Chain A
Amino acid sequence: MSDTSANTEETGAAEKEVDTIDKFAELPDAPPKKGIKLSWVGKVSVAIVAAWVVVAFIGPWIAPFHEAEFIVDDSYVPSGGCPEMLEELFDLDEWTPDAITQYCTESDTILFLGSDYLGRDTFSRIIWGARTTIGISFVATLFAYFVGITLGIGAAVSGGWIDMVLSRFNESILSLPSIMLGLIAVAALGSTIPILIITAALIYATSVFRIARALGQDIMVQDFVEAAHARGEGLWWIITREVLPNAAMPLLTDFGLRLVFVILFISSLSFLGLGVQPPMADWGSMVRENMQGLGYGSYASIWPAVAIGTLTISINLIVDDISAKSGGSLAKKMV
């Protein structure tokens, strides 16, 4: 996936003026603080994300099987199948829903979502994978934000040579395909989880850097900052009290998409045969490794995609909700 969302809020030098004019009327000294009230869509989304986070924490204890355990000898056993039925039915064509009911209702090893290409339990692997996927993507995204915002706002505030060097370096990384950078990093340093996190974080920090720098530059020339400057406030005060709070909302909007990109980035590495170390389950890699099953009508690669979808759509809906609510009061009247 590309980094294209990076610049929604990007405002080139030319647009600075516009924003200055736009916000002239507001002149806030600090951003308005409002309680967050979510719509029902938002509430459902929060519940889904919370559920996944819980699964990520307790997954290994609630999953029926270990992520690496081979339950059956056959690939792509359909949902609800069990080892018992395979002793009688050898052929794909024979794995009908009726046969499954017949052989598996009594069984105590039921594969709720069927088996994957190696005969492991897809359901258990999705539960185990929650930890890997959510863990890697959250940590990498947060890290990307930390690095991107620090350097971006740093560049905007300091300007001059520091800005020039950081920006050129940043542009260079941004202009190269992320999958190639990932390929080089992983091939040279190995695909351990820390390396994957750092690689993803640094690649996506470049987009955050762009947004943060643009916003920072934008805010730095605004009147309330100049006023604070005139009052004799220090640089640190200006950054923490004026710049960051004003940049928070646009950056939050970006967060949801950025998280998706990290998950997809790891899965596209698995397309090149890299990605997380087997037998560890990771949703994106599970989609990839079970692709052959699509030809047999197996859902083994669809379920992890659904898992990615529920998590990321929920997060983005929450973000939408928050940003809608924090907008101007008249925005609601438009609806």
Chain B
Amino acid sequence: MGPMIFRRIVIGFITLWVVSVIVFFGLSILPGDAAAIQLGQAATEESLAALRAQLGLDRPAYIRYFTWLGGMATGDMGISNAGGATIASLIDFRLIKTLELGGIVAVISVPLSIFLGLAAAMYPGTWLDRILTFGTMSLVAVPEFLIATFLVLIFAVKLQWMPSIAYMSGGESLWEWLHALAMPILTLVIVVSAQMIRMTRAGILNVMNSPYIEMAILKGVARKRIILRHALFNAIGPIINVIALNLAYLVSGVVIVETIFAYSGLAKLMIDGVQTRDFPLVQACAMIFCGTYVLLLLTADIGAILSNPRLRKPK
């Protein structure tokens, strides 16, 4: 497995580099630069030139790219084009916030989804399965912002049980912290679980169709035992994969939840970065997201191999 991991890490670095090139081209086709966005309506030719000079935007784009790449190689993420703060200081705080929220959502949603997915797969076609399928599909189909706003209106505005925003002044106790995060956690658990439940069910049923399971059925092995002992282990690869992708989504894709609950995380930061044409900031976020993605998928594959004895020794 060692060489495999090494190979994947090398490939991961290549992917990171490709991402940086894509981001570079993506940002350069956008209208306006950081100086123009910052001055906005108040811009004049003169003030634009002055601000560009101050931000170093008067240098050609490729030089800025290679300067950034050089800095990155030595671990220096650079300085924000938008505000002049170091990227590290902007990322630092938000990365922790993102990991906190993502982590707690994962801890709740992953076991829950696997359990419900298994339950649905164990009794396919029953009312339990139908309700779960129908329920998860309904939730998958509803835009995130509607779920979030709906929950806020019920639990925060109407019942006043929970705060409507996940803002924290600092120094909260664990309970206050959970209370403040309750609504975004609930929203995200709904959003990601729906998908994971459906995929767990599909993954298991997919394996159930394979001949060796049919053999086991013919041999009269109990259904529960078949699913838990045989089907689950063989379906675990795809299931872990879906979980990994959902976790990656929790890190990079939750911009709507972060916006609605005024939670300062990385996903919103990246969108802000794009909207202010803050090249180093967007690049830094892209590197983190891509790195997370690569690592999560690698972990998923390793997990799949370790959990399935038959995968441990290659043919």
Contact = CB atoms under 8 A, between A and B. Distances in A.
B40 to A, nearest CB: 15
A333 B22 CA distance: 50
A331 B150 contact: no
Contacts of B314: 14, 17
Interface in A284-335: 284, 287-288, 291, 294-295, 301, 305, 308-309, 312-313, 316-317, 320, 324, 327-328, 330-331, 333-335
B142 interface: yes
Interface stretch (B56-64, B172-180, B243-251): B243-251
Given A5-B195, A6-B245, A168-B14, A173 B143 contact: no
Contacts, number: 224
A294 B18 contact: no
B208 interface: yes
A175 B138 contact: no
A308 B305 contact: no
B270 A180 contact: yes
Given A1-B144, A17-B314, A328-B210, A180 B134 contact: no
A150 B218 CA distance: 40
Given A176-B19, A334-B124, A183 B29 contact: no
A223 B166 CA distance: 56
A253 interface: yes
Is the interface on chain A under 10, 10 to 19, 20 to 34, or 35 or more residues? 35 or more
Contacts of B196: 4
B219 to A, nearest CB: 12
Nearest to A39: B125
Given A8-B238, A14-B304, A171 B311 contact: no
B214 A328 contact: yes
A260 interface: yes
Nearest to A329: B214
A313 B248 contact: no
A11 interface: yes
Interface string A237-279: 0000000000000100100010010011001100110000000
Contacts of A21: 310
B210 A22 contact: yes
Given A2-B253, A6-B245, A174-B293, A18 B209 contact: no
B223 interface: yes
Is the interface on chain B under 10, 10 to 19, 20 to 34, or 35 or more residues? 35 or more
Contacts of A172: 15, 18-19, 22, 290
Contacts of B212: 22
Interface of B: 4, 11, 14-15, 18-19, 22-23, 26-27, 29-31, 124-126, 130, 133-134, 137-138, 140-146, 149-150, 153, 157, 191-192, 195-196, 198-199, 202-203, 205-206, 208-214, 217-218, 223, 234, 237-238, 241-242, 245-246, 248-249, 252-253, 255-256, 259, 267, 270-271, 274-275, 286, 289-290, 292-294, 301, 304-305, 308, 310-311, 314-315
Given A168-B11, A178-B253, A184-B26, 17 more contacts: A4-B192, A8-B199, A11-B238, A18-B308, A41-B130, A175-B292, A181-B26, A184-B27, A189-B29, A257-B195, A264-B141, A267-B143, A268-B144, A294-B150, A305-B143, A317-B133, A324-B205
